[in-house]
Structure 1
Amino acid sequence: MQDNSKLSVLVIDPSPALRGSLQNMLNQLNITKIEFAVSSGTAIKQLMKRSYDIILCEYDLGSGTEDGQDGQQLLEDLRHHRIIGLWTIFIMITSEAVYSKVVSAAELTPTDYILKPFAVDILSQRITRAIDRRSAFLPVYQLIGQGNVRAAIRACAAAEVSTPRYAIEFARLRAELHVSLGELREAEKVYEGIIEVRPLGWAQLGLARTLFAQERHDEARQLLSRLIADNPRLMAAYDLLARCHETAGDPEAAQMVLEDAVSISPHMIRRLRHLGAVAMEAGDVAAAEKSFKQVVAKARYSEFRDPEDHVNLTRALVKKGDTNGATAVIRDLEKSLRGNTNVDACKAISMALVHEAAGNSEGAVAELTNAISAMKLAQNLSSGFKINLARTCLDHKLDNEAEQVMLEALNDDGVTTAQAMNVFVKAGRPELAETMTSQLKRQVAQLLNVAAEKSKMGDVKGAVQTLTEALRKAPGNTQVMAAAVQAIVRQIDELGWDHALAEVSTQQLDKLRATDGASSEYTKLSDSFNAAKRKYGIAT
């Protein structure tokens, strides 16, 4: 019989009676390390302090309130913000009436579901099954946690043979790990192999994602359209299909797809946020206002409220001509999010929009200046916020400020130089795009010089950090890529193996090979990296 005495469990349930019943059942299974949370907010606070082996979560956490977070939304937050690890067992407890809707529209599937009412033997079976599965996957999870992704891929491939009952799940994880390394062709082959055996919806979705990432947008769009027709409740397929339409420059089609998704699964905050953004792009201000209002209302119960949601709603209301409503949203922003480090920047840009709508250009300029100053103290403002701020600065002829904000945006993942330049071109200021390009080139040249100086002085870690910054500013610059690989190999050679840096080196070598794999420089860098691998017993 399985020894459960060392297992730790967090029970999340607003009902004292049900918490007591679950405690009694767990005690019968020799599980005594039990803690409780009565809401999603208290659960998140506890999970940020410590980890648990198992989470038993009631789906209905809202206690009858319309806008309270449910268990699925809580799981969304926990996974998105990486509060729980891959090894954490999350079991959702729900009624049969709700289950048929929840399981089909689930965005992030729990480890398992238990339907109420249930007896202790059912709970025992589900926990035993989950523990067995975790034991099979734990060696791979540990390699991932250590940053040794390539070893994790090899372990998955081996486990597909040695543990056939989980073969497809190991294949799925292997494909996801290839994607994390940017090895899209390899992931594509894995997904295609799974689909040949069983045409599973998630495998087709994974394949579509690899096609999209390879910019094979038409293929991805066609696959996703068929997938949604066959699996109308596979919600993530709608999100990716909308992105395909956006990439094709068709925000109206993207809006229609997301509206279909929201009609099926209306509580996913990130999708509602996306719908609001594409509706604004499509010029449908009413739909944008509706979506952003829902985001603000639903996020009110989340521990991860984002003041940028208030900015988005303000922008929609101003566009609609409702400045009184926009002002009320700003007041709510100040009141309900007091203490958030991003509030000042968000309030300032919101006030600038209201002043602009009222024809008060001087007030708008003053608030834009405040927003730029507040950005220095803000944390993790989105690239979209920065790009919109730069656009608004351009509208008021604040050219230097727009350039400053856009340079800041270019430090964010996912913002390309081409996207940044396009903002200036669309604003009718192509000369500013040229100025920005020149500034970036100068900054990259300076970073290369600083890195070279640090390397000469023996500061190998400092050189790598500087070149990592240069890579963010010029991701396609072959000189920077080569210098980064050279510096990383030196650090590994002198200071020991580093999985994360080794992955960066591998990614840059792959890019260099695609650019000019026949060059002597690429061969030299590849040979030196492989030599470092052999030194530490890493397979090449």
Structure 2
Amino acid sequence: MMRAETTAEMLHKMSKELAHKRALLIDRYPNARNSLRIMLSALGVTSVHNAGTTAEVLRQVRSHHFDIILSDYQLEDGRDGQQLLEELRQQRLVALATVFMLITSERAYHNVVSIAELAPDDYLIKPFTADDLHGRLVRALYRKQFFAALYEPLENGAFSDALDACERLLAQDSGFLFDLLRFKGEILNVLGRPAEAQAVYQEVLQQRMVPWARMGLAIALRSQQHLREAETVAQALIEDFPEFMAAYDFVAEVREEMGKLREAQEALQSATMISPNNTARQRMVGDVAARNHDFQAAERAYGKVLERRRGSSLNNIDDYSNLARAMIDLGHVEGAKRIADELRRDWRGSKQGELAALVMDGLCANKEGDPTKAQMAIEKALVLHDGLKADGKDTLVSSKLALDLAHACLATGKEAIAQEMVRKVAAENHQDRAMIAQIESIYAKAGKEEAGKALLAQVGREIVELNNRGVLAARGGDLDGSVKLLMEAAERVPNLQFLINASKAIFTLLEIKGWNPALAKRGLGYLRTAQEKDLRNPKVISAREMYERVSRKYGIAVVPLTATRKQAEQPRT
């Protein structure tokens, strides 16, 4: 029997493998990059790339796979490594197998917490020696190698395969037992098996009172609709570990689900006091505050988002619109006009950007009591919107921007046009509480609250009817008819529910009647769109597993999920 390698032997092996690793050094100062290069060269790493700006980082990571990324915390133009890491992860440009380390001389409490929240593989405080770097790198690479069997299925959304890999690793005698149990619990939660996840976390908590196990337990409880108990567990976690930031987001989500919007906002704002640089959370604060009519808090949060996102590839038209909308609600019309000007400047040449700016112009003019100016702006906006639609590019207009345009149409007497736009957004986002709340808000602002409620109720009935036609056909044994009806529903209303139903119906038919390449392509297309909407949704995962099972039955190569990256930046047309 072969002897298993000891940890010391594995670390020694990883040290030797440094010579085969490709590294990317990120620092705005050439001398600092050169010092790091010399340090890595002494450790045997010779394939080293450099980047002095985030634009160069994005170009490099799109062109090469890196085993190691070392980034200084302070980047160019006031940006920082936290923003960069957020950008790379959201665009899925950094593989799970890549070691990402942040280097900082920043010891301020808030920034260190912010770095830790993003969970890089490690961070180094300046000054450090080559030996310090060597020890950190070797251990991080050893960990990456051990978990390699998990990373591939996780990155491809194959969570059942990831669970199998996790079980195999658990059968080994390693020093990563609790890390593996953490992975197992998270995967079970994602797969929609919360009772099993709960058992895993309770097993861990019997041995160690670690924060992540308490967080996982709260998630499992929520999935089983034990909302009050889930809130209690997560709130106790915050009290014991106030720097465990994910707990605040979770508490806010549970409270919102329970209808406690004001308390949800309080939880999020408590988190931003500790870690102010997380833009995703700041946007959540803005959204919840706006629904609470706390427009001052919304303005502050949206302003922070725009401040940190401007100039990055995560810069988003909706960030400008969100801030301008909050300003208009506060009566800060001049400020909203300045945001519209900034949008035109930052998104010069973008038709979506000009559309959003025109909508802001119309809403500002309406707030100022200038109906003629408002009408002119909205007429131009509608011409631009119709042009995008004629070019087949209306899908590039976000749901939020579409609702802002509908709001402007309502405010200028174009109720029929507004209703058509709202109907489409409501149908495609009928399970999104925030989007439905925004629809209710624009009708309330226009003094047409009852009309808004009636429209939403009608859309809800139509969705149920449209879905039931296909489902009932399947139950009656008419699989071909069911596929046709569900495909029609997904084409008309590409919401998550219809996309999943159409994909599953197609692969059920193929499993029974044999492989059809054209039909399979349609099914995979629906699945890809659903994955882009919500990758970790248990229903999406179930549809993915069905696709993989049927493909393997007929010996067809499974298309990896990594081919379906959702870009954060909207194409500029």
Same fold per superposition (TM over 0.5): yes
Find the partner of 1:107 among 112, 117, 126.
117
Report deviation, 1:492: 7.3
Question: Does the CA contact (< 8 Å) of 2:248 and 2:271 recur in 1?
Answer: yes
Over the aligned positions, Cα root-mean-square deviation in angstroms equals 4.4
Alpha-carbon separation, structure 2, partners of 1:530 and 1:39: 44
Partner of 2:459: 436
Partner of 2:23: 9
Deviations 1:463-503 (A, max 9, x none): 98667658954839999797456235348756699998799
Q: How many residues align?
A: 515
Alpha-carbon separation, structure 1, partners of 2:23 and 2:500: 50
Question: Does the CA contact (< 8 Å) of 1:92 and 1:112 recur in 2?
Answer: yes
Q: Which amino acid aligns with 2:386?
A: S
Question: Does the CA contact (< 8 Å) of 1:60 and 1:71 recur in 2?
Answer: yes
Change (3 A) 1:7 1:225: same
Could you say which structure has the greater relative contact order, defined with CA pairs below 8 angstroms and 6 or more residues apart?
2
Change (3 A) 1:22 1:213: same
Question: How does the TM-score come out when normalised to structure 2?
Answer: 0.76
Alpha-carbon separation, structure 1, partners of 2:367 and 2:83: 36
Alpha-carbon separation, structure 2, partners of 1:20 and 1:437: 61
Partner of 2:420: 403
Report deviation, 1:268: 1.3
Question: Does the CA contact (< 8 Å) of 1:444 and 1:474 recur in 2?
Answer: no
Partner of 1:268: 278
Question: Does the CA contact (< 8 Å) of 1:310 and 1:329 recur in 2?
Answer: yes
Report deviation, 1:380: 5.3
Partner of 2:55: 41
Q: Which amino acid aligns with 2:243?
A: R
Identify which range, 107-116 or 493-502, moves more after superposition: 493-502
Alpha-carbon separation, structure 1, partners of 2:183 and 2:230: 21
Question: Does the CA contact (< 8 Å) of 1:333 and 1:343 recur in 2?
Answer: yes
Question: Does the CA contact (< 8 Å) of 2:490 and 2:498 recur in 1?
Answer: no
Deviations 1:85-127 (A, max 9, x none): 2111101112373589515763220111222212212211112
Alpha-carbon separation, structure 1, partners of 2:199 and 2:403: 37
Partner of 1:515: none
Report deviation, 1:317: 1.5
Q: Which amino acid aligns with 1:310?
A: Y
In the alignment, is residue 172 of structure 1 matched against residue 193 of structure 2? Answer: no
Report deviation, 1:271: 1.6
Which ranges of structure 1 fall in alignment gaps of 5 or more residues?
Answer: 513-525
Alignment of 1:100-499 (within 5 A): 102-103=112-113, 106-340=116-350, 342-361=352-371, 363-364=373-374, 367-368=377-378, 370=381, 372-373=385-386, 376=389, 377=393, 381-390=397-406, 393-394=409-410, 396=413, 398-408=415-425, 410-411=427-428, 415=432, 419=436, 423=440, 427-429=449-451, 430-437=453-460, 439-440=462-463, 444=467, 473=495, 475=497, 483-484=505-506, 486-487=508-509, 489-490=511-512
Partner of 1:97: 107
SS of the aligned residue for 2:272 comes to helix
Change (3 A) 1:357 1:206: same
Alpha-carbon separation, structure 1, partners of 2:62 and 2:376: 39
Alpha-carbon separation, structure 2, partners of 1:224 and 1:243: 11
Identify which range, 280-289 or 324-333, moves more after superposition: 280-289
Question: Does the CA contact (< 8 Å) of 2:302 and 2:322 recur in 1?
Answer: yes
Question: Does the CA contact (< 8 Å) of 2:24 and 2:49 recur in 1?
Answer: yes
Partner of 1:86: 96
Q: Which amino acid aligns with 1:14?
A: R
Alpha-carbon separation, structure 2, partners of 1:388 and 1:189: 46
Alpha-carbon separation, structure 2, partners of 1:233 and 1:361: 50
Alpha-carbon separation, structure 2, partners of 1:307 and 1:486: 40
Deviations 1:164-190 (A, max 9, x none): 311222222223333333333333333
Identify which range, 365-374 or 128-137, moves more after superposition: 365-374
SS of the aligned residue for 1:475 comes to helix
Question: Does the CA contact (< 8 Å) of 1:185 and 1:210 recur in 2?
Answer: yes
Report deviation, 1:192: 2.9
Alpha-carbon separation, structure 1, partners of 2:19 and 2:433: 52
Question: Does the CA contact (< 8 Å) of 2:194 and 2:224 recur in 1?
Answer: yes
Identical residues among aligned pairs (%): 28
SS of the aligned residue for 1:165 comes to coil
SS of the aligned residue for 1:233 comes to coil
Change (3 A) 1:288 1:380: same
Question: How does the TM-score come out when normalised to structure 1?
Answer: 0.81
Question: Does the CA contact (< 8 Å) of 1:444 and 1:473 recur in 2?
Answer: no
SS of the aligned residue for 1:185 comes to helix
